[in-house]
Structure 1
Amino acid sequence: MSDKEKAMQQWMKEVNVDVTCLQSKANVFYFSDFYTDPHERLVALFLFQDETQIPLMVCPSMEVNQARDTGFKGEVIGYHDHEDPWQLVKKAIESRGIGVKKVGVEKQEMSLARAEQLSEVFAGVDIVRADEQVHALRKVKSENEIDALRKAAKLADYGVQIGIESLELGKTEVEVLADIEAALKKKNVVGMSFSTMVLFGEKTSDPHGNPGNRRLQRGDFVLFDLGVIIDGYCSDITRTVVYGEANEKQREVYETVLRAQNETLARCQAGTQIGELDKTARKLIEGAGYGQYFPHRIGHGLGIDVHEAPSMHEHNKETLVDGMAFTIEPGIYHPEIGGVRIEDDVVIENGNAVCLTNFPKELQIINESD
């Protein structure tokens, strides 16, 4: 039994939960090493308080072999599309002779339809929230998880380098994006953490802009935001450069964001309240006169999901501990000047921050000859 399962069982004993039902892709992977995108089909993992009961997984029959190939030690039940998987779950649990009075679920992940189906399987039981406990476990990464994050971060650095090398006057955002992802595929990257973002000029002032057919011009800010998935774990990096030449305002905005990130990174130590990190960056950006153009939190947790706990906002009173992995990504998005964001992946090790992404951060002016 893994340490993760033992920790969940201990929690289940403390709150008297008999069974925990997990059906988010990330949480199923976390406890089983089986990752799949079942679309509308059910994939669920059931963990039991009783230490003599092995975990139970239900998945489409066409994915049973993949689930077993991961080395998953529990019972796997496959179902065909014409079958009701919940009835198979009910039969399997009843055959174990387990009395179920309280079930833990992922409140934020479970749809109303599935909650109703679960209530039919476990008629009359209490349903309680279990996702907060799972998130608490996932916040603190093991060495193996950190190794995967480190590998993913290295390839994210490479993706930015490819993007910069791809820049040419008149080239479109999506053409540069295609060059990045093609190069990463050649490095055996199977999936991106999220939709790759390449934005030029005025489009950089939208924090979550959509790449399109905007063509590169001299004097443009160019913003890259990308990440890859390695061994089930995500990276997430943002870098901003200028193509051709940078004006005074562009330099001012860039240097403000860079100072904000550097000062925030310096405060990333075990014992520091997460909210203080956001306040550090926000105070500096506000002091430079750009506070209204920094509309988001300083960062987010990073792991199996590219956005996971903890949420790095100014009101979060949690403290950093060894093993936490997260991003630090201040930004300024000015409608007339353009947008700058600098984002790195960070892990707390031996009390201090270690940046996993290491692409250079000093302002780069990219010329055609480069």
Structure 2
Amino acid sequence: MMQKRMETLMQKLPAGTDAALIQSDVNRRYLTGMQSSAGTVLCFRDGAYLIIDFRYIEKARECVKNCTVLEQHDLYEQIRELLRKHNARTLSVESMTMTLSQFSKLKQQLGNQVQLDQSDALSRAIFACRTVKTEAEIDKIRKAQRIAEIAFADICNFLRAGISERDVMLRLNQTMMEHGSEGESFPTIALAGSATSMPHGVPSAQRIIQDGD
């Protein structure tokens, strides 16, 4: 499935694009299947690479199968070397997530070796790939929904006066983990009483649920 994702992505890019640089956490995970806080994916039409530092190298070599995994030593020199190897002249970047600082440094380091495509072509191509879910992804969505429903049913029976918002949050998170969750998609919001008017409020151990909340 991961190999197909790489191929589909490159097919969606303009014909003149030789390579794509992916550094955002969520897109890197989507294309490699591995979650990490760092790493660089470099895709060509005839191959792909994951350049990642020593903290993740063992895990990457074990679970990433659709890329050649390289331990990061000098990132920009490694990128330059791979661009030469694949005769790449045009490199597309994630314009919707890359900062000005990151782009400036990339441009400075690569010099005249490659033309940087700073349009939204790559970001839009990844978005298009991620929008259409495979059967495997749909199955995971269903499983996640089941976990959420189980946790919600449990918390409805758990709620009572005298416990804190934090107690509710911890119970929800624990129940989800016990039923197969890998983690929350965002920090759990569990608020009571007047605090419920706060969007994205943080559960408090001091705020106690009262009768009628």
- Name the TM-score class by shorter chain: 0.7 to 0.9
- Pairing 1:264-303 to 2, within 5 Å after superposition: none
Deviations 1:185-220 (CA, angstroms, capped at 9, x unpaired): 323433111101111112112232221122111221
Contact 2:3 2:66 in 1 (8 A): no
Residue in structure 2 matched with residue 187 of structure 1 by the alignment: 179
Instruction: Kindly state the Cα deviation for residue 71 of structure 1 after the two structures are TM-superposed.
Output: 4.1
Say if 2:43 is the partner of 1:47: yes
Partners of 2:196 and 2:30 lie apart in 1 by 35
Unaligned runs of 5+ in 1: 221-370
The amino acid across from 1:113 in the alignment is S
Partners of 2:3 and 2:88 lie apart in 1 by 24
Percent identical residues: 24
Q: What SS is found at the alignment partner of 1:159?
A: helix
Partners of 1:7 and 1:104 lie apart in 2 by 15
Residue in structure 1 matched with residue 100 of structure 2 by the alignment: 112
The amino acid across from 1:92 in the alignment is L
Say if 2:123 is the partner of 1:127: no
Instruction: Kindly state the Cα deviation for residue 93 of structure 1 after the two structures are TM-superposed.
Output: 2.8
Stretch deviating more after TM superposition (133-142 or 25-34): 25-34
Contact 1:33 1:72 in 2 (8 A): no
Contact 1:106 1:131 in 2 (8 A): yes
Residue in structure 2 matched with residue 368 of structure 1 by the alignment: none
The amino acid across from 2:105 in the alignment is Q
Say if 2:7 is the partner of 1:6: yes
Deviations 1:27-64 (CA, angstroms, capped at 9, x unpaired): 112111121123xxxx1111113xxx210111112312
The amino acid across from 2:50 in the alignment is M
The amino acid across from 1:164 in the alignment is C
Residue in structure 1 matched with residue 50 of structure 2 by the alignment: 57
Residue in structure 1 matched with residue 78 of structure 2 by the alignment: 88
Q: What SS is found at the alignment partner of 2:190?
A: strand
- Pairing 1:96-245 to 2, within 5 Å after superposition: 96-100=85-89, 102-124=90-112, 125-128=115-118, 129=120, 130-212=122-204, 213-220=206-213
Q: Which runs of 4+ in 1 moved over 6 A?
A: none
Q: 1:4 to 1:190 in 2, by over 3 A?
A: closer
Residue in structure 2 matched with residue 305 of structure 1 by the alignment: none
Instruction: Kindly state the Cα deviation for residue 138 of structure 1 after the two structures are TM-superposed.
Output: 0.6
Contact 2:164 2:207 in 1 (8 A): yes
Q: What SS is found at the alignment partner of 2:146?
A: helix
Residue in structure 2 matched with residue 27 of structure 1 by the alignment: 27
> Normalized against structure 2, the TM-score is what?
0.88
Number of residue pairs the alignment of both structures matches: 207
Partners of 1:72 and 1:183 lie apart in 2 by 32
Contact 1:20 1:48 in 2 (8 A): yes
What value does the CA root-mean-square deviation take over the aligned residues? 1.9
Partners of 1:123 and 1:117 lie apart in 2 by 10
Deviations 1:234-277 (CA, angstroms, capped at 9, x unpaired): xxxxxxxxxxxxxxxxxxxxxxxxxxxxxxxxxxxxxxxxxxxx
Partners of 2:192 and 2:173 lie apart in 1 by 18
Unaligned runs of 5+ in 2: none
The amino acid across from 1:78 in the alignment is E
Partners of 1:110 and 1:86 lie apart in 2 by 16
Structure with greater helix share of residues: 2
Contact 1:173 1:198 in 2 (8 A): yes
Q: Which has the larger radius of gyration?
A: 1
Q: What SS is found at the alignment partner of 1:175?
A: helix
Q: 1:219 to 1:134 in 2, by over 3 A?
A: same
